[in-house]
Amino acid sequence: MNKINRLGTYVVRIENIKKNRTGEMIDYLLNGDHENHLDKSVILSSNNDRGKFVINNLEKVDKNTKRKKGKGGKPLSVSDKSLTFNIPKDYEASQDEVIEIQKRLYDHIRILYKENKINVKDIDFFTNIHYQENKHINFILPYLDQSGASIPFIKSTNHFLKPISKVFTQIVDSVLGTNIKTYKTELEKLEEFNEIENLDIEVLTLEEVQELKESVKDNKLLKRGYDYYYKILNGGNELKTIDRLINTTEKMKNDSKVSKEEYEEFIRHLRGLGLHTKLSEEGKNKVLNSVKK
């Protein structure tokens, strides 16, 4: 059972935003030309004007400074919390559906602050959506109320992060018709496929490899391995294919979006295909030399 399934929640990441740095975070969330967003992300559904939000934030920090003046204690370091609510990459979700998830989540968060009798307004919250392959909803939540007083309950894992993660999961499953209990990672799907098929890759024909490529087109890891096998089996430029294969493995190894487990599974998958048995001596030496680097 994967970690997400075991925890019973989809991924929610949280980090502190230092005082006077909230404007930088907002700029990043709104910047469609940033290298992390350019040609990758459509930025949707921002709930607040950037200028008004930042001014309100700075005013609260100033109020907090005045409240503490002459009273001692540690100076304020954190003014907000940044949360990223991640929808699983293999879930189909339209823009309207992600906006609906965002709306329900925002309503829940506002109620949570109200139940804790926190003096906040709409201007204290910021949220938008990065609609891309890994669709996610961004929230900036206040750690200071309208009077400049700190809000301690959002520091709690048990009283804040875990409950809000659970609600997010329930909302996603409700809107998308999915089920956390049956969620599988790409790695698990790969393992499950290999177990079910139990293929003897050594005796596959070119046509059968093509059929395998089609059958796993939604699994990028598995399909990529079959792509290389097909090109070599089809009499393509072997050394050029090997160069591309080596470049691919290097990129995956250094790609922060590819987990260590996924990378290792990709390598095991390549070995399982028996590519080395199809290579010329020159091709085998090229692969061995790349491993030694």
Q: What is the pLDDT of residues 15-67, one digit of tens each?
A: 889 888 899 999 999 888 888 888 888 999 888 888 999 999 999 999 988 88
Residue ending a domain, among 141, 161, 181, is 181
258 and 149, same domain (yes or no): no
159 and 39, same domain (yes or no): yes
Task: Categorize the per-residue pLDDT at 1 as very low, low, confident or very high, splitting at 50, 70 and 90.
Answer: very low
200 and 94, same domain (yes or no): no
84 and 167, same domain (yes or no): yes
195 and 127, same domain (yes or no): no
Report whether 164 contacts 109 (CB < 8 A).
yes
150 and 244, same domain (yes or no): no
CB 165: neighbour CB atoms within 10 A?
20
For every residue of 54-106, DSSP letters joined together read HHHHHHHHHHHHHHHTTT-SPPP-EEEEEEEEEPPTTS---HHHHHHHHHHHH
81 and 123, same domain (yes or no): yes
> In the chain, at which residue ranges do the beta strands (DSSP E only) sit?
12-18, 42-44, 78-86, 126-131, 136-142
Report whether 205 contacts 26 (CB < 8 A).
no
Residue 290 has pLDDT above 70, yes or no: no
Report whether 44 contacts 128 (CB < 8 A).
yes
Q: Which pair of structure tokens corresponds to residue 66?
A: 């005045």
- Give the CATH number, domain containing residue 141: 3.30.930.30
Choose among 119, 153, 120, 18: nearest CA to 76: 18
Q: Which pair of structure tokens corresponds to residue 186?
A: 């790409």
Residue ending a domain, among 165, 181, 197, is 181
Residues in the chain: 293
Say how far apart CA 25 and CA 21 lie, in whole Å: 7
Q: Order of strands, edge to edge, in the sheet holding 12-18?
A: 12-18, 78-86, 136-142, 126-131, 42-44
Residue 292 has pLDDT above 80, yes or no: no
Q: pTM here?
A: 0.63
139 and 110, same domain (yes or no): yes
pLDDT of residue 237: 72
Task: Categorize the per-residue pLDDT at 153 as very low, low, confident or very high, splitting at 50, 70 and 90.
Answer: confident
129 and 209, same domain (yes or no): no
108 and 244, same domain (yes or no): no
Overall number of domains in the chain: 2
The secondary structure of residue 16, as a DSSP letter, is E
Residue ending a domain, among 181, 202, 228, is 181
Sequence-ordered list of residues with C-beta below 8 angstroms from that of 258, at least 6 positions apart, any chain: 252
Percentage, residues of the chain above pLDDT 70: 67
* C-alpha dihedral, 241 to 243 to 247 to 253, nearest 10°: 90
194 and 170, same domain (yes or no): no
8 and 127, same domain (yes or no): yes
Owning domain of residue 70: 3-181
